[in-house]
Amino acid sequence: MLAKLMKYELKATCRIFPPVYAALLVLAAVTRLLYSFNPRGTNNVPLFISALLYLFILIGMFVMTFVVMIQRFYKNLLADEGYLMFTLPVETWKHITSKLLVSVIWNIGSAAAAILSIIILSIDKILSGELKIKIAIDTSGSFNALLLFEFILLCIAGMVFGILIIYASIAWGHLSNRHRIMASIGAFLVLATFSQVMFFCFKVTPLARELQEHGEVYIGPGTPIAMYHWITWFSIAFFILLSALFFAITNYVLNRELNLE
């Protein structure tokens, strides 16, 4: 049933994202092409317009990814379409999981489209070796696959955390009889503050010895590589822990306290 839910969730959102990705990449290519005709860019109105449009679409794409994530959850589950979704013979956690996974897919898609468009814009500099992309170069100066893996994992864990904090806020706001949107915003502020306090409390623990020895924690060139690993894994574990909590809140409300208007 989870696969079927995801199929319909993907179908519902598929009409939105791929055309925007295509527009972004085409505009990046056009901007690059116009630039190559006139590298100094003086009095180049078409280049200016094309670059501006590219920027609008880039910003719009991220805003849309965010808005669609909220809208799909709210409109499809807690507004009128919820009458259909919640009467399907499907467990509540599968509804949440399908929305979450599809949202992660589009978040990754948007990030990939943005990176690809930047590569297109600077293709000649990359080819000529003028611009080097440094990812996961450790303190000894060599490429570290583990660091890259940790970084990707951290991004995904952070994404899941970001989506679930919003689902939990909307669900919590749903407990209110009136002004549910205001209640959701209030719930978000509470959950975000809670997360920050928790992060600070936890962060102090692993770094306490460091603080005792040096009086401060310094992260930058010269930081032992083990420290990077520590901080990354700690952050991943933190995101997973809070994501589980937010998932549980959302599931509890939608399962036990559902009251569709």
Partner 1 sequence: MNPILECSGLTKTFGPKKALSDINLRIGQGQIVGLLGPNGSGKTTLIKLANALLTPTAGEIRIAGMKPGLGTKKIVSYLPEKNYLNDWMRVRDIIGMFKDFYEDLSPEKAYDMLKRLNISADDKLKTLSKGTKEKVQLILVMSREARLYLLDEPIGGVDPAARNYILETIISNYNPEATVLISTHLIYDVEKVLDHVIFINEGRLVLSSPVDEIREQGKSVDGLFREVFRC
Where on the chain is the footprint of partner 1 (CB under 8 A)? 1, 4, 7-8, 11-12, 15, 76, 80-84, 86-91, 177-178, 256-260
CA–CA dist 43, 150 (Å, integer): 46
- 81 or 210: whose CB is closer to partner 1? 81
21-48 burial: b if 16+ Cβ within 10 Å, else e: bebbbebbbbbbebbeeeeeeeebeebe
Q: How far is the CB of 220 from partner 1 (least distance, A)?
A: 49
- Provide the minimum distance between the beta carbon of 39 and partner 1 in the complex, in angstroms, as a whole number: 44
Q: Which helix (H) or strand (E) holds 45?
A: helix 45-73
Minimum distance from residue 170 beta carbon to partner 1 (Å)? 17
Kindly state the tokens that stand for 115: 């990176």
Closest Cα partner for 131 from 144, 142, 118, 141? 118
Nearer CB in complex with partner 1: 132/178? 178
Smallest separation, CB 166 to partner 1 (Å): 21
Q: Which is nearer to partner 1, 86 or 151 (CB)?
A: 86
Task: Give the nearest distance from C-beta 10 to partner 1 in angstroms.
Answer: 12
Please provide residue 143's backbone torsions phi and psi, each rounded to the nearest 5 degrees.
-70, 135
- Are the beta carbons of 121 and 28 closer than 8 angstroms? yes
4 or 125: whose CB is closer to partner 1?
Answer: 4
Q: Given the complex with partner 1, which of 11 and 125 has the nearer CB atom?
A: 11
Of 72, 87, 155, 85, nearest to 115 (Cα)? 155
